[in-house]
A and B are shown apart, each in its own frame.
Chain A
């Protein structure tokens, strides 16, 4: 089971309780929750907030692909996964991403949680614009997406 969504911060904040509700099941003995939060320092600059931008459809497509690959690459067929990423301006300490995973055993849950966040970093079209204490802003450089199709 997969829940995948981009959430506009103007409409709602993403919440751990939503993740907990979605993945909760008596079939799974292990759950892991990962959150990414806005921190106050980056590259020696004082960060006060981050604007997140997203190509929503392509991001959801990438979340689905990553979820499906877990079966082939990690051999984890029974799982429940909740992924929400925020979009818009977030203040310090606010949560930009929640990944909740539930599997039968802890080894699978740890592996899956780590796999999902690392693949999102590589493949999901999400961008960050940092806002600094001196009122300057900067888009973070990021990594080019590898073009897979011809």
Chain B
């Protein structure tokens, strides 16, 4: 199934479209998404260490606006947001 990762903050630098799409198996976990993103950065940004650090330090958020752990299973075509380290105000 297809999954869309919506990019925010520093991760917007990963794509001009502000979204990255991956093909993954049903019931794949957030951990799998994290690994796919690292692969994507290896392929498209020569493994940019700063970008990879952003992915490692991020959490992920479902369409229902819940922050979920690496064990969370994705069971349908859905949009997941990557939430890099924050700092507003």
CB within 8 Å of B: which residues of A?
Answer: 36, 52-55, 57-59, 61, 85, 96-97, 117, 120-121, 123-128, 139-145, 147-150
Contact = CB atoms under 8 A, between A and B. Distances in A.
Interface residues of B, number: 24
A96 B88 contact: yes
Q: Which 3 A-B pairs have the closest CB atoms?
A: A126-B88, A127-B9, A142-B87
Contacts of A147: 59, 67-69
Interface stretch (B31-39, B40-48, B78-86): B78-86
A147 B58 CA distance: 9
B13 interface: yes
Interface of A is mostly: mixed
A144 B87 contact: no
Interface of B is mostly: loop
Contacts, number: 89
B88 A145 contact: no
B17 interface: no
A145 B59 contact: yes
B85 A141 contact: yes
A55 B83 contact: yes
B71 interface: yes
B87 A126 contact: yes
A57 to B, nearest CB: 5
B9 A53 contact: yes
A127 B10 contact: yes
Contacts of A52: 88
B56 to A, nearest CB: 9
Given A53-B8, A53-B12, A144-B58, A125 B86 contact: yes
A139 B53 CA distance: 13
Given A55-B8, A120-B88, 12 more contacts: A58-B61, A85-B88, A126-B88, A127-B8, A127-B9, A127-B87, A127-B88, A139-B9, A139-B10, A142-B85, A144-B59, A149-B67
